[in-house]
Structure 1
Amino acid sequence: MRTNSIIFHYYTPLCPIMGMLKVENAMQVTGELKNNAFVVTIQGQIDTETYGEFNKILEGYVEGNFTPFVINCKDLEYINSSGLTSFVHLSQMLETFQLKLLFCEIQPAVQEVIDITELGTYFNIYATEQAALESL
């Protein structure tokens, strides 16, 4: 199993008297081979602060694993358009090798962003990791 952790610290104004409030933006990405698929589990959030590093991690996983990918989103708390762009980019990379990209265990907040952008018809989404793996 390979794990990549990225923690970004940035500061936002709290108030003129109190000074600055430290905000932590964290993402952990874990990948492992299961049942002839590479399962990527994401914890935290994918946004404008984390998507660049997320893309690098995914590209490294694709280079080392010519298998279908399952993205497990059970611990993905937040995603914005930058993160969705990363998913589309991954899908396109895998398509060049005729490999599938599947998603599973998507949380309501993430599903809402997918629904708003109408990418639900583009992505193959399954309720559970097991269901995604069985579909391959």
Structure 2
Amino acid sequence: MDIKQETNGTELTMFLSGRLDTVAAVDFEKALDAVSKDVTLLIVDCAELSYVASSGLRMFLRAQKRMNAQGKLVVRHVQESVMEVFSMTGFDSLLQIEN
């Protein structure tokens, strides 16, 4: 998986591409840990994310908890295969998902 980031003031967008599996979840966790306390809107763009494992879901939950404390999390451009996982696990009701 690859993670690219763009910052615009207090808004941070993370672009995820590839597979968010057990190994990649560690990289996503490090990226989340590095998010500044000044960020009030975290956007996770999943347009190029093709797969998410349970460890990846755990990182989305971690991001949601973090942003509940300091702002807002928005997940955008979720591919159908990833959306199916979100739907089956109930994450579609936990996360703010926009397309």
Give the TM-score of the pair, scaled to structure 2.
0.91
Q: Which residue of 1 aligns with 2:57?
A: 84
RMSD of aligned alpha carbons:
1.5
Larger Rg: 1
Q: Which residue of 2 aligns with 1:114?
A: 86
SS of the aligned residue for 2:91 comes to coil
- What are the residue-to-residue correspondences of 1:5-24 with 2, within 5 Å? none
Structure 1 alignment gaps of length 5 or more: 1-26, 128-136
Structure 2 alignment gaps of length 5 or more: none
Alignment: residue pair count: 99
Query: Which one has the bigger helix percentage?
Result: 2
Contact 1:103–1:124 under 8 Å retained in 2: yes
Q: Using the TM superposition, name which of 36-45 and 63-72 deviates more.
A: 63-72
Which amino acid is 1:54 matched to?
A: F
Distance 2:22 2:87 in 1: 20
Distance 1:122 1:73 in 2: 16
Which amino acid is 2:88 matched to?
A: I
Q: Which residue of 2 aligns with 1:101?
A: 73
Q: In percent, how many aligned pairs have the same letter? A: 26
Higher relative contact order (CA closer than 8 Å, sequence separation 6+): 2
Distance 2:23 2:74 in 1: 24
Distance 1:53 1:41 in 2: 13
